[in-house]
Structure 1
Amino acid sequence: MIRISLEEGVQILRLDRPEKKNALTGAMYTDLADALEAGNTDPDIRCHLICGHPEVFTAGNDIGDFLQYAGKVAVADTPVVRFLRALVRTEKPLVASVDGLAIGVGTTLLMHCDMVFASPRAFIRSPFVDLGLVPEAGSSLLGPQLMGHARAFELLCLGNPLTAEKAERLGLVNEIVEDNVDETALNCANQIASKPPEAMALSRKLLKGDTGALSERVEEEIRIFADRLTAPETIAAFQAFMSKKKA
Structure 2
Amino acid sequence: MIRKSLENGVQTLRLDRPEKKNALTGAMYTDLAEALEAGNSNEDLRCHLICGQPEVFTAGNDIGDFLQYAGRSAMSETPVVRFLRALVRNEKPLVAAVDGLAIGVGTTLLMHCDMVFASPRAFIRSPFVDLGLVPEAGSSLLGPQLMGHARAFELLCLGKPFNAEQAERAGLVNTIVEGDVDAEALACALEIASKPPEAMALSRKLLRGNTDALSERVEEEIKIFASRLTAPETIAAFQAFMSKKKV
The normalised TM-score by structure 1 is 1.00
1:40 paired residue number: 40
Q: CA deviation at 1:174?
A: 0.2
Measured after TM superposition, the shift of residue 67 of structure 1 is: 0.3
Q: Which amino acid aligns with 2:75?
A: V
The aligned residue for residue 156 of structure 1 is 156
CA distance in 1, matches of 2:108, 2:98: 13
| 1:229-244 equivalent positions in 2, closer than 5 A | 229-244=229-244
Give the AA of the match of 1:87: L
Q: Equivalents in 1 of 2:125, 2:217: separation in Å?
A: 21
Q: Cα offset for 1:41?
A: 0.3
Identity %: 86
The runs of 4+ residues in structure 1 deviating greater than 2 Å are none
Per the TM alignment, residue 152 of structure 1 is displaced from its structure 2 partner at its CA by: 0.1
CA distance in 1, matches of 2:170, 2:221: 23
Q: CA deviation at 1:33?
A: 0.2
Aligned to 1:52: 52
For 1:197, the aligned partner's letter is P
How much has 1:42 moved relative to structure 2? Answer: 0.4
Give the TM-score of the pair, scaled to structure 2: 1.00
Question: Residue 241 of structure 1: CA displacement?
Answer: 0.3
Other-structure match for 1:98: 98
Counterpart of 1:127 in structure 2 is: 127
- What displacement does 1:65 show? 0.3
Residue 30 in 1 paired to residue 51 in 2?
no
SS at match of 2:40: helix
- Cα deviation for residue 82 of structure 1 reads 0.1
Unaligned runs of 5+ in 1: none
User: What are structure 2's unaligned runs of at least 5 residues?
Assistant: none
RMSD (Å), alpha carbons:
0.3
Aligned mates of 1:135, 1:79 — CA distance in 2: 17
Distance 2:237 2:245 in 1: 12
* Superimposed CA distance per residue, residues 16-36 of structure 1 (whole angstroms, 9 cap, x where no aligned partner): 000000000000000000000
Deviation per CA, 1:23-79: give whole Å up to 9, x if none: 000000000000000110000110000000010000000000000001100111000
Separation (CA, whole Å) in 2 of partners of 1:171 and 1:116: 9
Aligned residue identity for 2:94: L
Partner SS state of residue 41, structure 1:
coil
